[in-house]
């Protein structure tokens, strides 16, 4: 009888439960994801007829040592979009990839220094105006640049160059090179 006093039935409809879960996921992602923007260019045999593209991506940066100069990177969302030049006869191209990698900063003092970051994962590509024909395959990338620690909480700015090749199941390969900028924030405190 006493246990019934402390247990009160709480019911949520599915819509309210989805709102609560989405809010919790958004808060989690806001505090632990790092965001980046990039400007890219398609290179290689399929590069003719495309304008420079733009991209955004979000990732987790998980340090694996106390100096934080080695990190496992989980890139949850990497999107690039390329429009066509006038009268080129091509269709717009886009890709979305999910990758994992390892970042090594060439400094024993922390997050400031030159870095290299190989990545591998899965991509989805499309090359039509309606983005309806989607093909999936292997995504490989290499990122190199400079990381600069900002402040006392482990935050850092990243400037780098990325080469990525997306290999969908057909012969529509996308090779890109791009410049990236990111702000890596940390909530570890002082």
Q: Is residue 153 domain-resident?
A: yes
Q: What is the DSSP string of 99-127?
A: EEEEEEES-TTSS-EEEEEEEEEEEEEE-
Range 143-171 average pLDDT:
85
Range 153-171 average pLDDT:
84
Cβ-contact 106, 124 below 8 angstroms: no
Q: How far apart are CA 85 and CA 105, in angstroms?
A: 38
Q: Compare 57 and 152 and report the one with higher pLDDT.
A: 57
Q: Is residue 77 domain-resident?
A: yes
Among 159, 121, 164, CA closest to 142: 164
Range 179-183 average pLDDT:
87
Is residue 115's pLDDT more than 90?
A: yes
Q: Is residue 43 domain-resident?
A: yes
Strand 134-150 to 93-105 pairing: unpaired
Among 73, 139, 138, CA closest to 101: 73
Q: Compare 65 and 87 and report the one with higher pLDDT.
A: 65
- Tokens 């940390």 locate to 186
Q: Compare 144 and 37 and report the one with higher pLDDT.
A: 144
| Number of independent structural domains in the chain | 1
Amino acid 130: pLDDT: 73
Q: Is residue 1 domain-resident?
A: no
Q: Is residue 149 domain-resident?
A: yes
Is residue 190's pLDDT more than 50?
A: no
Range 175-184 average pLDDT:
88
Q: For residue 150, what pLDDT band results from cuts at 50, 70 and 90?
A: confident
Rg (CA), the chain: 21
Is residue 189's pLDDT more than 80?
A: no
Q: Is residue 11 domain-resident?
A: no
* DSSP 8-class letter at 48: T
Range 68-86 average pLDDT:
87
Proportion of the chain above pLDDT 90, given as a percent: 26
Q: Is residue 26 domain-resident?
A: no
Amino acid 99: pLDDT: 95
Q: How many CA atoms lie within 13 A of 145 on its CB side?
A: 21
Q: What CATH number should be reported for the domain holding residue 87?
A: 2.40.160.20
Is residue 10's pLDDT more than 70?
A: no
Among 90, 172, 180, CA closest to 134: 172
Q: Containing domain of residue 140, as a range?
A: 33-184
- Tokens 């003092």 locate to 109
Amino acid 186: pLDDT: 63
Q: Is residue 23 domain-resident?
A: no
Cβ-contact 166, 95 below 8 angstroms: yes
């Amino acid at each position: 009888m006493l246990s019934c006093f402390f247990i009160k039935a709480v019911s949520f409809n599915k819509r309210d439960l989805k709102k609560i879960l989405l809010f919790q996921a958004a808060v989690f992602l806001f505090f632990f994801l790092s965001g980046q923007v990039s400007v890219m260019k398609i290179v290689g045999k399929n590069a003719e007829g495309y304008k420079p593209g733009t991209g955004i991506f979000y990732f987790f940066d998980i340090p694996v040592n106390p100096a934080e100069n080695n990190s496992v990177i989980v890139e949850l969302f990497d999107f690039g979009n390329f429009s066509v030049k006038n009268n080129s006869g091509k269709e717009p191209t886009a890709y979305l990839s999910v990758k994992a990698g390892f970042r090594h900063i060439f400094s024993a003092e922390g997050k400031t220094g030159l870095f290299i970051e190989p990545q591998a994962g899965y991509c989805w590509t499309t090359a039509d105006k309606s983005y309806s024909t989607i093909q999936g395959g292997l995504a490989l990338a290499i990122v190199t640049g400079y990381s600069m620690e900002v402040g006392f909480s482990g935050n850092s700015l990243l400037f780098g160059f990325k080469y990525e090749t997306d290999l969908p199941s057909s012969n529509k390969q996308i090779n890109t090179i791009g410049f990236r900028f990111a702000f890596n924030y940390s909530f570890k405190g002082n």
